[in-house]
Amino acid sequence: MTHTRIIAALILGLSAAACSTLETATRNAPLESVTALAAEAPAAALRSVAVQSFTVEVPRALSVSEMDSYYPIGDIVWREDPAGDRHAQIRAIFDAAMGQAAPDVQGALPVDVTIRVRQFHALTEKTRQTIGGVHSITFDLALRDPATGVEIAAPRRVQVDLRGYGGVDAVIAEQQGLTQKTRITRHLANVLRAELWQPGSAPAGVTERVAGLEAAPI
């Protein structure tokens, strides 16, 4: 076989292999990989999702702390509900937030949403009564095809921070119905709404006007 024929055969073989590999990778790759091949299509799809159902998971492996310290110890720190099943209480907060967000996310692509909580730090009694702090919440957000259960987008980590009032500020806020649960639920709804419409677009903070307090991120 001449050098010309050998080169031609190699080129033909490589072309066929490349086509086969690209088809398989595109079909099976997570959305991030598909985006690298055709950025505009997945982005448009995600911006037009319609929430069909959602599931909130709060793994029992997450540790719960009831210690009244200035800094959170454990995966879950939550005191505004009565002592009880903290995992279930956190799930209820996410259920309420997602219930607020879902009706506003009604695009063209049906999805099932799975939220898996990784950390939920609200304020301890000591911090709430004195200096205040930050509500720090972390969760994974995944989207699946309702018909097949196949992931439409690989799970992505979402970090949510919210100023937590302390001392007199906390008293003023509660007098106006702005409890920790109210503020956290509303902020989570805003974040979920933004993340579902456009991943990574959750606002850094919205402002609320509370009589007697400066405008603060909610």
Report, as an integer, the average pLDDT of 88-105: 96
| Each residue's pLDDT tens digit, 135-154 | 999 999 999 999 999 998 78
Please give the pLDDT value at position 82: 95
Give me the architecture of the 48-217 domain, per CATH: 3-Layer(aba) Sandwich (3.40)
Please give the pLDDT value at position 205: 45
**pLDDT at 35 > cutoff 60:** no
**pLDDT at 51 > cutoff 60:** yes
CB 73 within 8 A of CB 127: no
The CA-atom distances, in angstroms, between 9 and each of 1, 15, 17, 18 are 10, 10, 12, 14
CB 66 within 8 A of CB 122: no
Of 178, 169, 179, 70, which is closest to residue 126 (Cα–Cα)?
70
Please give the pLDDT value at position 114: 96
**Residue 9: how many CA atoms within 13 Å on its side-chain side?**
6
**pLDDT at 1 > cutoff 80:** no
Report, as an integer, the average pLDDT of 25-43: 32
Report, as an integer, the average pLDDT of 102-129: 94
For 15, the enclosing helix (H) or strand (E) is helix 3-28
The CA-atom distances, in angstroms, between 121 and each of 35, 55, 86, 117 are 34, 21, 12, 11
Neighbouring-strand partners of residue 216? 208
Dist CA 132 CA 137 (whole Å): 16
**pLDDT at 53 > cutoff 50:** yes
Report, as an integer, the average pLDDT of 67-90: 94
SS3 content of the chain, % helix, strand, coil (to 5): 40, 25, 35
**pLDDT at 197 > cutoff 80:** yes
Please give the pLDDT value at position 187: 96
Torsion angles phi and psi, residue 135, rounded to 5:
-80, 120
**pLDDT at 5 > cutoff 60:** no
Please give the pLDDT value at position 200: 60
**Residue 124: how many CA atoms within 13 Å on its side-chain side?**
14
When computed from its CA atoms, the radius of gyration of the chain, rounded to whole angstroms, is 23
Structure tokens at 25: 């990778």
The pTM of this model reads 0.72
For 133, the enclosing helix (H) or strand (E) is strand 133-144
Listed by start position, the domains of the chain span 1-38, 48-217
